[in-house]
Amino acid sequence: MTTKNIPNHVGLIMDGNGRWATAKGRERTYGHYMGYKRLKKTATHILNKGVKILSVFAFSTENFQRPKEEVDYLMDLFLTSFKKEIKYFVQNNVKVVFSGRKEPLSDTVYDSMKELEMETISCDGGILNICLNYGGQAEIVDASKLIAESFKNGKIKLEDITVESFYNYLYNELPAIDLLIRTSGELRLSNFMLYSISYSELYFTNTCFPDFDEKEFDEALESYQNRNITKGTIKQK
Protein backbone atom coordinates (compact mmCIF):
# COMPACT_ATOMS: atom_id res chain seq x y z
CA MET A 1 0.00 0.00 0.00
CA THR A 2 1.23 3.50 -0.75
CA THR A 3 2.34 5.56 2.21
CA LYS A 4 1.24 8.73 0.48
CA ASN A 5 -1.76 10.80 1.41
CA ILE A 6 -2.04 9.89 5.05
CA PRO A 7 -4.99 11.77 6.60
CA ASN A 8 -3.81 14.39 9.08
CA HIS A 9 -6.82 14.02 11.38
CA VAL A 10 -8.94 10.87 11.69
CA GLY A 11 -12.25 10.72 13.57
CA LEU A 12 -13.53 7.42 14.95
CA ILE A 13 -17.05 6.72 16.20
CA MET A 14 -16.47 3.57 18.27
CA ASP A 15 -19.85 1.89 17.97
CA GLY A 16 -21.12 -1.63 18.55
CA ASN A 17 -19.51 -2.65 21.86
CA GLY A 18 -22.87 -3.65 23.34
CA ARG A 19 -24.01 -5.68 20.33
CA TRP A 20 -20.62 -7.36 20.06
CA ALA A 21 -20.86 -8.55 23.66
CA THR A 22 -24.53 -9.55 23.43
CA ALA A 23 -23.75 -11.67 20.35
CA LYS A 24 -21.23 -13.53 22.49
CA GLY A 25 -23.76 -14.04 25.29
CA ARG A 26 -21.90 -11.58 27.53
CA GLU A 27 -22.88 -8.40 29.37
CA ARG A 28 -22.72 -5.14 27.40
CA THR A 29 -20.09 -3.90 29.82
CA TYR A 30 -17.74 -6.65 28.65
CA GLY A 31 -18.01 -5.08 25.18
CA HIS A 32 -16.96 -1.71 26.59
CA TYR A 33 -14.00 -3.28 28.33
CA MET A 34 -12.89 -4.99 25.12
CA GLY A 35 -13.52 -1.69 23.28
CA TYR A 36 -11.05 -0.01 25.62
CA LYS A 37 -8.49 -2.76 24.98
CA ARG A 38 -9.06 -2.38 21.25
CA LEU A 39 -8.75 1.39 21.35
CA LYS A 40 -5.31 1.17 22.93
CA LYS A 41 -3.96 -1.08 20.15
CA THR A 42 -5.75 0.51 17.21
CA ALA A 43 -4.98 4.09 18.26
CA THR A 44 -1.28 3.27 18.54
CA HIS A 45 -1.39 1.69 15.08
CA ILE A 46 -3.20 4.68 13.54
CA LEU A 47 -0.74 7.20 14.99
CA ASN A 48 2.22 5.00 13.97
CA LYS A 49 0.88 5.13 10.40
CA GLY A 50 1.58 8.85 10.38
CA VAL A 51 -1.85 10.18 11.31
CA LYS A 52 -1.18 13.22 13.50
CA ILE A 53 -4.50 13.44 15.34
CA LEU A 54 -7.03 10.77 16.24
CA SER A 55 -10.35 11.91 17.70
CA VAL A 56 -12.51 9.19 19.26
CA PHE A 57 -16.08 9.29 20.52
CA ALA A 58 -15.95 7.66 23.97
CA PHE A 59 -19.11 9.05 25.59
CA SER A 60 -21.76 11.44 24.32
CA THR A 61 -23.78 13.79 26.49
CA GLU A 62 -26.82 11.63 25.55
CA ASN A 63 -25.06 8.52 26.88
CA PHE A 64 -25.89 9.71 30.42
CA GLN A 65 -29.44 8.56 29.69
CA ARG A 66 -28.33 4.91 29.54
CA PRO A 67 -29.06 2.57 32.46
CA LYS A 68 -27.24 3.69 35.61
CA GLU A 69 -25.21 0.46 35.86
CA GLU A 70 -23.84 0.95 32.36
CA VAL A 71 -22.98 4.62 32.94
CA ASP A 72 -21.34 3.73 36.27
CA TYR A 73 -19.34 0.98 34.62
CA LEU A 74 -18.10 3.30 31.87
CA MET A 75 -17.18 6.06 34.34
CA ASP A 76 -15.24 3.54 36.41
CA LEU A 77 -13.53 2.23 33.26
CA PHE A 78 -12.52 5.78 32.31
CA LEU A 79 -11.22 6.56 35.78
CA THR A 80 -9.13 3.41 36.14
CA SER A 81 -7.82 3.30 32.57
CA PHE A 82 -6.83 6.98 32.46
CA LYS A 83 -4.75 6.48 35.60
CA LYS A 84 -3.37 3.13 34.46
CA GLU A 85 -2.40 4.21 30.93
CA ILE A 86 -0.42 7.38 31.76
CA LYS A 87 2.82 5.44 31.51
CA TYR A 88 1.76 3.78 28.24
CA PHE A 89 0.96 7.09 26.53
CA VAL A 90 4.14 8.75 27.79
CA GLN A 91 6.24 5.80 26.58
CA ASN A 92 4.52 5.95 23.20
CA ASN A 93 4.91 9.74 23.05
CA VAL A 94 1.15 10.33 22.61
CA LYS A 95 -0.40 13.56 23.85
CA VAL A 96 -3.91 12.95 25.20
CA VAL A 97 -6.51 15.72 25.20
CA PHE A 98 -10.21 15.65 26.03
CA SER A 99 -13.15 17.34 24.35
CA GLY A 100 -16.48 17.89 26.08
CA ARG A 101 -18.20 19.65 28.94
CA LYS A 102 -17.36 19.15 32.62
CA GLU A 103 -20.91 18.85 34.01
CA PRO A 104 -22.19 16.32 35.11
CA LEU A 105 -18.90 14.38 35.24
CA SER A 106 -17.76 13.58 38.76
CA ASP A 107 -14.69 15.38 40.12
CA THR A 108 -12.78 12.10 40.35
CA VAL A 109 -13.32 11.28 36.66
CA TYR A 110 -12.61 14.87 35.63
CA ASP A 111 -9.43 14.97 37.73
CA SER A 112 -8.19 11.76 36.09
CA MET A 113 -8.75 13.37 32.67
CA LYS A 114 -6.83 16.49 33.67
CA GLU A 115 -4.03 14.37 35.13
CA LEU A 116 -3.67 12.37 31.88
CA GLU A 117 -3.61 15.62 29.90
CA MET A 118 -0.97 17.15 32.15
CA GLU A 119 1.25 14.06 32.20
CA THR A 120 1.29 13.81 28.38
CA ILE A 121 1.37 17.52 27.58
CA SER A 122 4.95 17.43 26.24
CA CYS A 123 4.46 14.32 24.08
CA ASP A 124 4.72 15.14 20.40
CA GLY A 125 4.31 11.83 18.59
CA GLY A 126 0.60 12.33 17.85
CA ILE A 127 -2.56 13.51 19.57
CA LEU A 128 -5.35 11.32 20.91
CA ASN A 129 -8.43 13.50 21.39
CA ILE A 130 -10.95 11.65 23.56
CA CYS A 131 -14.46 13.06 23.24
CA LEU A 132 -16.12 12.41 26.60
CA ASN A 133 -19.38 13.95 27.72
CA TYR A 134 -19.21 15.44 24.25
CA GLY A 135 -21.82 16.83 21.86
CA GLY A 136 -21.06 18.45 18.51
CA GLN A 137 -23.82 21.06 18.68
CA ALA A 138 -22.76 21.96 22.23
CA GLU A 139 -19.17 22.43 21.02
CA ILE A 140 -20.36 24.93 18.40
CA VAL A 141 -22.49 26.73 21.00
CA ASP A 142 -19.56 26.83 23.46
CA ALA A 143 -17.26 28.16 20.73
CA SER A 144 -19.84 30.84 19.87
CA LYS A 145 -19.96 31.92 23.52
CA LEU A 146 -16.16 32.25 23.63
CA ILE A 147 -16.27 34.33 20.46
CA ALA A 148 -19.03 36.54 21.89
CA GLU A 149 -16.91 37.07 25.06
CA SER A 150 -13.83 37.98 23.03
CA PHE A 151 -15.91 40.37 20.96
CA LYS A 152 -17.48 41.95 24.02
CA ASN A 153 -14.04 42.43 25.61
CA GLY A 154 -12.75 44.07 22.45
CA LYS A 155 -10.22 41.29 21.84
CA ILE A 156 -11.57 40.59 18.37
CA LYS A 157 -13.52 42.47 15.72
CA LEU A 158 -16.48 41.17 13.74
CA GLU A 159 -14.34 40.64 10.66
CA ASP A 160 -11.98 38.40 12.67
CA ILE A 161 -14.72 35.79 12.91
CA THR A 162 -14.27 33.53 9.90
CA VAL A 163 -14.86 29.91 8.99
CA GLU A 164 -11.14 29.30 9.58
CA SER A 165 -10.73 31.27 12.82
CA PHE A 166 -13.75 29.46 14.29
CA TYR A 167 -11.56 26.34 14.69
CA ASN A 168 -9.54 28.28 17.29
CA TYR A 169 -12.57 28.35 19.59
CA LEU A 170 -13.39 24.63 19.42
CA TYR A 171 -12.52 22.56 22.49
CA ASN A 172 -8.96 21.76 21.44
CA GLU A 173 -8.35 24.06 18.49
CA LEU A 174 -7.84 20.99 16.30
CA PRO A 175 -7.97 21.22 12.50
CA ALA A 176 -10.63 19.67 10.23
CA ILE A 177 -11.14 15.91 10.18
CA ASP A 178 -10.01 14.32 6.92
CA LEU A 179 -11.38 10.83 7.41
CA LEU A 180 -14.31 9.86 9.63
CA ILE A 181 -14.82 6.19 10.43
CA ARG A 182 -17.87 4.66 12.12
CA THR A 183 -17.99 1.02 13.12
CA SER A 184 -20.90 -1.42 13.54
CA GLY A 185 -22.94 -0.63 10.43
CA GLU A 186 -24.79 2.45 11.71
CA LEU A 187 -24.98 5.19 9.07
CA ARG A 188 -25.28 8.26 11.30
CA LEU A 189 -23.02 11.06 12.49
CA SER A 190 -24.58 11.21 15.97
CA ASN A 191 -23.53 14.76 16.78
CA PHE A 192 -19.81 13.98 16.48
CA MET A 193 -17.48 16.94 15.79
CA LEU A 194 -19.98 18.58 13.47
CA TYR A 195 -17.91 21.65 12.63
CA SER A 196 -14.79 19.60 11.92
CA ILE A 197 -16.35 16.96 9.64
CA SER A 198 -17.79 19.37 7.07
CA TYR A 199 -15.44 18.07 4.35
CA SER A 200 -14.51 14.68 5.81
CA GLU A 201 -14.40 11.55 3.77
CA LEU A 202 -16.78 9.06 5.38
CA TYR A 203 -16.07 5.37 5.92
CA PHE A 204 -18.59 2.97 7.43
CA THR A 205 -17.86 -0.63 8.32
CA ASN A 206 -20.12 -3.38 9.68
CA THR A 207 -17.35 -4.48 12.05
CA CYS A 208 -18.16 -3.80 15.69
CA PHE A 209 -15.57 -1.70 17.51
CA PRO A 210 -13.97 -4.46 19.64
CA ASP A 211 -13.00 -6.16 16.33
CA PHE A 212 -11.79 -2.97 14.63
CA ASP A 213 -8.13 -3.98 14.48
CA GLU A 214 -5.07 -2.80 12.58
CA LYS A 215 -6.12 -4.60 9.38
CA GLU A 216 -9.59 -3.00 9.52
CA PHE A 217 -8.03 0.45 9.81
CA ASP A 218 -5.67 -0.27 6.92
CA GLU A 219 -8.73 -1.09 4.78
CA ALA A 220 -10.32 2.24 5.72
CA LEU A 221 -7.06 4.00 4.91
CA GLU A 222 -6.83 2.28 1.54
CA SER A 223 -10.39 3.32 0.73
CA TYR A 224 -9.47 6.91 1.65
CA GLN A 225 -6.30 6.82 -0.45
CA ASN A 226 -8.18 5.51 -3.48
CA ARG A 227 -10.62 8.41 -3.47
CA ASN A 228 -10.29 11.46 -5.61
CA ILE A 229 -10.20 14.09 -2.90
CA THR A 230 -10.54 17.72 -3.85
CA LYS A 231 -9.37 19.74 -0.90
CA GLY A 232 -11.72 22.63 -0.26
CA THR A 233 -10.10 25.95 0.49
CA ILE A 234 -11.68 25.98 3.94
CA LYS A 235 -10.85 22.40 4.77
CA GLN A 236 -7.70 23.03 6.75
CA LYS A 237 -7.25 25.43 9.59
Using CB under 6 A, list all residues that contact ligand FPP: 14-19, 31-32, 35-36, 39, 58-59, 63, 77-78, 81, 130, 209
Whose CA is closest to 49, among 86, 6, 88? Answer: 6
End-to-end CA distance of the chain: 28
Give ∠ CA 6-191-167 in degrees, rounded to 5.
55
Q: CB of 152: closest distance to ligand FPP in angstroms? A: 36
Of 98 and 169, the one with the shorter C-beta distance to ligand FPP is: 98
Query: DSSP string covering 144-167, please?
Result: HHHHHHHHHTTSS-GGG--HHHHG
Q: CB of 130: closest distance to ligand FPP in angstroms? A: 5
Active site residue 63: yes
Query: DSSP string covering 40-104, please?
Result: HHHHHHHHHTT-SEEEEEEEEGGGGGS-HHHHHHHHHHHHHHHHHTHHHHHHTTPEEEEES--TT
Of 213 and 222, the one with the shorter C-beta distance to ligand FPP is: 213
Per-residue H/E/C for 25-42: CCCHHHHHHHHHHHHHHH
Of 39 and 177, the one with the shorter C-beta distance to ligand FPP is: 39
Catalytic site residue from 5, 17, 63, 218: 63
Q: CB of 114: closest distance to ligand FPP in angstroms? A: 15
Of 58 and 180, the one with the shorter C-beta distance to ligand FPP is: 58
Q: CB of 184: closest distance to ligand FPP in angstroms? A: 6
In whole angstroms, give the CA distance from residue 193 to residue 196. Answer: 5
Active site residue 15: yes
Of 77 and 156, the one with the shorter C-beta distance to ligand FPP is: 77
Catalytic site residue from 15, 17, 129, 178: 15
Sign of the dihedral defined by the CA atoms of residues 217, 220, 222, 225, in that order: negative
In whole angstroms, give the CA distance from residue 81 to residue 84. Answer: 5
Q: CB of 77: closest distance to ligand FPP in angstroms? A: 6
State the catalytic residues: 15, 63
